[in-house]
């Protein structure tokens, strides 16, 4: 009743941040599963292929961490306003 458009926008951003926080744990788990699969299958892979797969997954984990930071910031900052 007393909400204007700015309040609605801030609440929507906080809601999107909360969704991102909730999705970050399963995505991190998927990245960890991929890393463990690469380590477990290392005996059948060449060293170059293994290193490439681990580096690819490490970059993916860094991207997930950056996305998680942004989602946590959105969820926390806009819920305080």
Residue 44 has pLDDT above 80, yes or no: no
Res 26: pLDDT: 94
Residue 39: pLDDT band with limits 50, 70, 90: confident
What does residue 3 show for φ and ψ, rounded to 5 degrees? Answer: -90, 135
Ordered by start, the domain boundaries in the chain are 25-80
**Considering the entire predicted model, what is its pTM?**
0.76
Residue 51 confidence (pLDDT) above 90: no
Buried/exposed 18-29: b ≥16 CB within 10 Å, e otherwise: bebbeebeebee
């Amino acid at each position: 009743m007393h909400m204007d458009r700015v309040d609605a926008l801030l609440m929507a951003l906080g809601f999107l941040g909360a969704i991102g926080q909730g999705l970050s744990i399963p995505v991190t788990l998927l990245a960890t599963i991929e890393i463990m699969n690469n380590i477990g299958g290392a005996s059948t892979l060449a060293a170059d292929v293994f290193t490439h797969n681990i580096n690819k997954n490490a970059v993916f984990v860094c991207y997930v961490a950056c996305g998680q930071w942004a989602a946590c910031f959105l969820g926390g900052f806009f819920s305080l306003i």
